[in-house]
Every structure is written in structure tokens, then in C-alpha cells.
């Protein structure tokens, strides 16, 4: 499974923007309609990916806040269960 990075996401978004800004490509109404739909889908997926990453960062922040004396308290994981049980 590929491990995409934030830079990969940025590149996909910029490629979609470049296609939308391509006058030659967008001159055909059918192609333009497809590109707009594709760009919308890419934007939606990107938004969810960014939101998911923000949740992961927040969860890590909360987990670190619960650390005491080098040991972690039983902090629920997003996937279920407790960190101490793993």
C-alpha cells in the first residue's frame, strides 16, 4: 500500500488546478465537465485526508498530555481499546 505524504497531496491538488487552468483542455465542454467533476472529487478526498490528519495530531497531543512519570495512563485509542492494553 503506498504511503502518500502531504507533499504528494499538494502535488495532486496542484495538478488538478493546472488542468482546470489549461485553456486548451477546458475548451471542450465535455472534457471541462469531467475535469471539474474530477477536481471536485480530489478536493473532497483531500479535505477528508487533512481532517483525518488533524484528528491524528490532536489524538497524539491528548495522549502526550496524559503521560505521567514516563508512563502513559489508559488513554482510549481512536480504533478502540486502550494504549496500556497494547
What was the pLDDT predicted at 86? Answer: 44
Residue 74 has pLDDT above 70, yes or no: no
Q: Label residue 28 left, alpha or beta by phi (over 0 means left) and psi (-120 to 50 means alpha).
A: beta
What was the pLDDT predicted at 85? Answer: 46
Within a domain: 66: yes
Note down the domain range covering 66. Answer: 6-73
What was the pLDDT predicted at 40? Answer: 96
Angle between helices 29-65 and 6-20 (to 10 degrees): 160
Please state the domain count of the chain: 1
Within a domain: 20: yes
Within a domain: 61: yes
Per the confidence metrics, is the pTM higher than 0.85? no
Angle of CA points 34, 39, 42, to nearest 5°: 125
Residues 6+ apart with CB under 8 A from 12: 42, 46
13 or 67, which is more confident: 13
Amino acid at each position: 500500500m503506498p504511503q502518500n505524504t502531504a507533499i504528494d497531496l499538494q502535488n495532486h491538488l496542484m495538478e488538478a488546478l493546472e488542468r482546470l487552468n489549461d485553456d486548451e483542455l477546458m475548451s471542450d465542454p465535455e472534457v471541462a465537465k469531467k475535469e471539474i467533476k474530477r477536481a471536485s472529487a480530489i478536493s473532497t478526498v483531500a479535505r477528508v485526508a487533512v481532517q483525518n490528519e488533524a484528528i491524528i495530531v490532536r489524538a497524539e497531543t491528548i495522549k502526550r498530555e496524559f503521560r505521567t512519570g514516563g508512563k502513559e495512563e489508559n488513554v482510549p485509542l481512536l480504533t478502540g481499546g486502550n494504549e496500556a492494553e497494547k
